[in-house]
Structure 1
């Protein structure tokens, strides 16, 4: 059953990339002081007008990636000391990622939010209190989403505002409702699912989390990867996972939101 699911996932990823990547040229790798580092292969702009919902775990489309391209995303931070360890592992390989932050954690560790951004990573949003959205009312869900955005913005920019500077959001547990999906779309916010994941929220060893990812990549060969920087097991497995990506010729794509000025980036078609 698992192998069949992974085969279908690989086929869907291939179809998504083929359908939308015509005419796209990969940009040059980001500068990095370590010649043998994994690096960040290219930067891809994700516009909510073109992509309102992405990630094949939940939706019918995903980010346009070619074979052996991955996007690294992290949920549930910031949380010392594991977030700092994840950042250190990424820095050693000159890799940039997207961090979906929980608002109450951002309010508790604002300096860590600013550190994530200063290292060139994308700050995104993951609610205020990490609720199961379908178990609460729409008004409660809306308030929790907006409060989380405001807390992230306050930590990052010193402004309490419900309009995100990066309009990327991921639902806790991938749990959404039609009303909350429509609400985020009306706000111009891209909802992220994922294409593959380490299951690092479960009580498993770092080695098991690593195997979960590498087994999936054997079939899918590309995709948005879900990890959790709040988890010690994730921090422990990151150096080995990044080494696996480097040794197996994977390329990391960094996602950024659409903005008035975008240099050295590609626009997702």
Structure 2
């Protein structure tokens, strides 16, 4: 019986190594098919998350110190049925990105997670279920459990097993709805929190052409930054090849971030900075409270001012 268990374990190990080899071979083949004038990666930041840190001017008063026309590409909410199209577009241009995974999606599509890793992308975390109420409206313990469950599901999908800490210590809050207590808890675990500097707003329905124009206009205005997309959106997958070509033509450069030992260089927010996400979240919560009071026949409270368009 013992010999059978050992043999079964050996067979599973060989099968797993074979899958990794296949994905690595696919990644090499994709690199070989890159366009001669591919956008590529300008530089890689191998960042330590020791002590925890938070970046992204939409939420925090600091971001990564990027040079003019440097972009960090990030994608949330995958993997889904459109993720493969996004990976194909990135591979064709030899571009690397950071994917913040929803744990239950990773558990459902582990082959896509392993493809992301095999093709050199960074795999971060975005909770297990992306709760609609956001972590800000869960109790602290429930929110921690939601995050931990996401770490575990992502690492099991990516590597076959999960440890006490996530392999990649990068996290993004759903809806950017953090709390001081959760940020402190993540920092104590040496986990970095990513916000964003530029939104693609691809949660709003639009044509790929309209999204391309919107993203390019925002990038030209900001000049640099951490750019947020969702690989779960068809319009994003359809738009991405054209965007990558436009970035090349306009002189933008891709910076890839991954875990390492390098303390991150930070750039402080400009004077007068305020959190745009906090304004938006406060407005959403106020509208929900107003609707609830109205439904129960309670006199409505004064409405907050509308948040700026994203």
CA offset digits 1:21-51 (Å, max 9, x no partner): xxxxxxxxxx875320001111012222376
Q: 2: distance between equivalents of 1:145 and 1:246?
A: 36
In the alignment of these two chains, the number of paired residues is: 232
- For structure 1, the 5+ residue unaligned runs are 1-30, 260-265
Higher Rg: 2
The alignment partner of 1:147 has SS state of: helix
CA offset digits 1:186-220 (Å, max 9, x no partner): 11000000000110011222122212211111111
Q: 2: distance between equivalents of 1:252 and 1:172?
A: 24
RMSD in angstroms over aligned alpha carbons?
1.5
The alignment partner of 1:202 has SS state of: coil
Q: 1: distance between equivalents of 2:46 and 2:233?
A: 28
**Are positions 1:268 and 2:264 aligned together?**
yes
Q: Please give the residue correspondences for 1:125-140 in structure 2 after superposition, counting only pairs within 5 Å.
A: 125-131=125-131, 132-140=134-142
* Bigger relative contact order, structure 1 or 2 (CA pairs below 8 A, ≥6 apart): 1
Give TM-score scaled by structure 2 length: 0.72
The alignment partner of 2:89 has SS state of: helix
- Equivalent residue, structure 1, for 2:42: 41
Q: Please give the residue correspondences for 1:17-56 in structure 2 after superposition, counting only pairs within 5 Å.
A: 33-49=34-50, 52-56=53-57
Q: 1: distance between equivalents of 2:60 and 2:126?
A: 18
Cα gap change, 1:138 to 1:239, in 2 (>3 Å): same
Structure 1: 4+ residue segments shifted above 6 A:
none
- Equivalent residue, structure 2, for 1:22: none
Q: 2: distance between equivalents of 1:105 and 1:162?
A: 21
Give TM-score scaled by structure 1 length: 0.83
The alignment partner of 1:252 has SS state of: strand
Q: 2: distance between equivalents of 1:126 and 1:208?
A: 27
Cα gap change, 1:50 to 1:249, in 2 (>3 Å): farther
Cα gap change, 1:50 to 1:95, in 2 (>3 Å): farther
Q: 2: distance between equivalents of 1:180 and 1:200?
A: 27
**Are positions 1:173 and 2:175 aligned together?**
yes
Cα gap change, 1:188 to 1:216, in 2 (>3 Å): same
Q: Any conservation in 2 of the 1:197–1:212 contact (CA below 8 Å)?
A: no
- Equivalent residue, structure 2, for 1:146: 148
Q: 1: distance between equivalents of 2:48 and 2:210?
A: 35
**Are positions 1:112 and 2:112 aligned together?**
yes
- Equivalent residue, structure 1, for 2:215: 213
Between Structure 1 and Structure 2, the one with more helix by share is: 2
**Are positions 1:231 and 2:213 aligned together?**
no
Cα gap change, 1:50 to 1:187, in 2 (>3 Å): closer
Q: 1: distance between equivalents of 2:135 and 2:41?
A: 34
